[in-house]
């Protein structure tokens, strides 16, 4: 079995549910890595020689949201580290979840499953196996399955594959009566049955995660450039129609965003985007309608247009990545960016904000005004 066909299974469940016991009962297991900080290791990764499965064992959820979030944060960090380490995504990320629910505590099934549903929100469509651990009592099994099924039915968008009762380790009821291990092989086989589907879903999730990371970085650049533009713009005494003063900043921002998205660019492309008449046109339109004057108006408008430009470059980069847009066709990219600038939501939101809050903005600097606008948009 090739390394890249190993299935990565995230084992979740509240503390004491039997996650570690279950993993260790699967033959040919060895711990490979511990991930986490200092002594509070939250994640252990186990490799199996006998099954093409890699287990990610987590420290159990307590019945508290905070402890649960901490565990999930660690798992996401683990996935992210892998995403950044390697561009070949086939062997990374989480392919499936085993959700361990203790068969001896039916009372808490519903709460348990609610916790899990929240925990796995970040992994869209991921195949889930509900594992009823400590299924010592044969007569309870049908009712347990039914109860778990009913609870899962309440959660939409959960890709529940199977509900499998297991006994991971022999259990002694008394000196004579012992419950032998059961269900483990079936659990592994059923999990591996959905390998292709799981890898496909995982890849989509990883791509989204990588895209979100890029977006996050690019937005950070846009915010920084927006406030810088406010300061630069405010210094210009000439009317905004001569926006040459912003060119270096716009070139830098455009290049940096393209770099994040690994878009190959030419100077010609950058020059034509930054030289686009749309930017000046949009700036003049805003100047006409906002109740601000002089340097403050220039500064604020500079920030607003740089923000709109940045957002449009992000949109273009994503379109190029999806191969909807071809970076070699400069005119097409230019039209795309111009259209995005004109229809940019930030422009109208910023204009409305300034109109509505004109009285409070009188004594503020362009940078303060821009910061207020950005945070008011973030809050909504």
Ligand X SMILES: Nc1nc2c(ncn2[C@@H]2O[C@H](COP(=O)(O)OP(=O)(O)OP(=O)(O)O)[C@@H](O)[C@H]2O)c(=O)[nH]1
Q: Which does 272 bind (CB under 5 to 8 A by kind): ligand X, Mg ion, none?
A: none
Residues that bind ligand X (CB under 6 A): 13, 15-21, 59-60, 133-134, 167-169, 171
7: β partners: 53
- Shortest Å, Cβ 16 to ligand X: 4
The partner in contact with residue 367, picked from Mg ion, ligand X, none with C-beta cut-offs of 5 to 8 angstroms by kind, is none
Q: Which is nearer to ligand X, 99 or 152 (CB)?
A: 99
* Nearest-approach distance from CB 19 to ligand X, in angstroms: 4
- CB atoms < 10 A from the CB of 128, how many? 25
Q: Calculate helix-pair angle for 294-321, 247-260, nearest 10 degrees.
A: 30
Residue 254 interaction partner, one of Mg ion, ligand X, none, beta carbon < 5-8 Å per kind: none
Among the listed ranges 13-21, 120-128, 165-173, 256-264, the one in contact with Mg ion (CB under 5 A) is 13-21
> Closest CB to ligand X belongs to which residue?
60
- How far from the centroid of its chain's Cα atoms is residue 1's Cα? 30
> By three-state DSSP, how is residue 377 classified?
helix
Using CB under 5 A as the binding rule, whether residue 20 contacts Mg ion is answered as: yes
Q: Where are the alpha helices (DSSP H) in the chain?
A: 19-25, 65-85, 109-119, 141-153, 184-193, 195-235, 247-260, 267-274, 277-289, 294-321, 330-342, 345-356, 358-361, 366-379
Q: Among ligand X, Mg ion, none, what does residue 6 contact (CB within 5–8 Å per kind)?
A: none
Point out the residue whose Cβ comes nearest to Mg ion.
20
In Å, how far are 4, 157, 241, 292, 360 from 356, measured between CA atoms? 57, 41, 25, 12, 9
Q: CB of 263: closest distance to Mg ion in angstroms?
A: 45
Q: Which is nearer to ligand X, 7 or 26 (CB)?
A: 26
Q: How far is the CB of 136 from ligand X (least distance, A)?
A: 7
Please work out the total of residues on this chain that contact Mg ion, with binding judged by CB under 5 A.
2
Q: Specify the residue, 19 or 367, whose C-beta has the smaller distance to ligand X.
A: 19
> Considering the complex, what minimum distance in angstroms separates the CB of residue 17 from ligand X?
4
d(CA 67, CA 157): 24
Nearer to ligand X, 60 or 299 (CB): 60
Longest dimension (CA), the chain: 95
């Amino acid at each position: 079995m090739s390394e890249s066909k190993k299935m990565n299974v995230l084992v979740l469940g509240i503390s004491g549910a039997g996650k570690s016991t279950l993993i260790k009962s699967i033959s040919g297991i060895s711990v490979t890595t511990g991930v986490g900080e200092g002594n509070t290791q939250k994640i252990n990764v186990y490799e199996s020689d006998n099954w093409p499965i890699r287990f990610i064992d987590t420290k159990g959820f307590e019945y508290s949201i905070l402890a649960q979030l901490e565990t999930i944060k660690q798992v996401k960090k683990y996935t992210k580290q892998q995403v950044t380490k390697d561009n070949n995504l086939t062997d990374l990320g989480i392919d499936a979840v085993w959700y361990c629910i203790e068969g001896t505590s039916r009372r808490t099934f519903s709460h348990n499953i609610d916790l899990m549903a929240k925990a796995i929100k970040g992994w869209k469509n991921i195949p889930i196996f509900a594992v009823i651990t400590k299924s010592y009592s044969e007569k309870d099994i049908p009712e347990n399955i039914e109860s778990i099924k009913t609870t899962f039915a309440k959660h939409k968008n959960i890709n529940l594959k199977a509900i499998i009762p297991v006994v991971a380790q022999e259990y002694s009821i008394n000196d004579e009566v012992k419950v032998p291990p059961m269900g483990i092989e079936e659990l592994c086989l059923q999990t591996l049955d959905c390998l292709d589907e799981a890898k496909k879903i995982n890849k989509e999730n990883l791509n989204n995660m990588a895209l979100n990371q890029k977006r996050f970085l690019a937005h950070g650049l846009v915010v920084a450039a927006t406030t810088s533009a406010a300061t630069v713009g405010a210094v210009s005494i000439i009317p905004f129609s001569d926006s040459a003063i912003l060119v270096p900043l716009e070139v830098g921002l455009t290049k940096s965003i393209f770099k994040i998205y690994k878009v190959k660019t030419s100077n010609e492309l950058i020059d034509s985007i930054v030289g686009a008449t749309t930017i000046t046109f949009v700036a003049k339109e805003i100047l006409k309608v906002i109740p601000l004057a002089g340097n403050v108006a220039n500064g604020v408008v500079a920030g607003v247009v740089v923000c709109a430009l940045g957002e449009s470059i992000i949109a273009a980069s994503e379109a190029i990545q999806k191969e909807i847009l071809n970076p070699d066709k400069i005119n097409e990219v230019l039209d795309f960016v111009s259209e995005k600038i004109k229809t940019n939501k930030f422009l109208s939101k910023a204009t409305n904000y300034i109109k509505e809050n004109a009285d409070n903005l009188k004594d503020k600097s362009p940078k303060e005004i821009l910061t207020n606008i950005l945070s008011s948009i973030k809050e909504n």
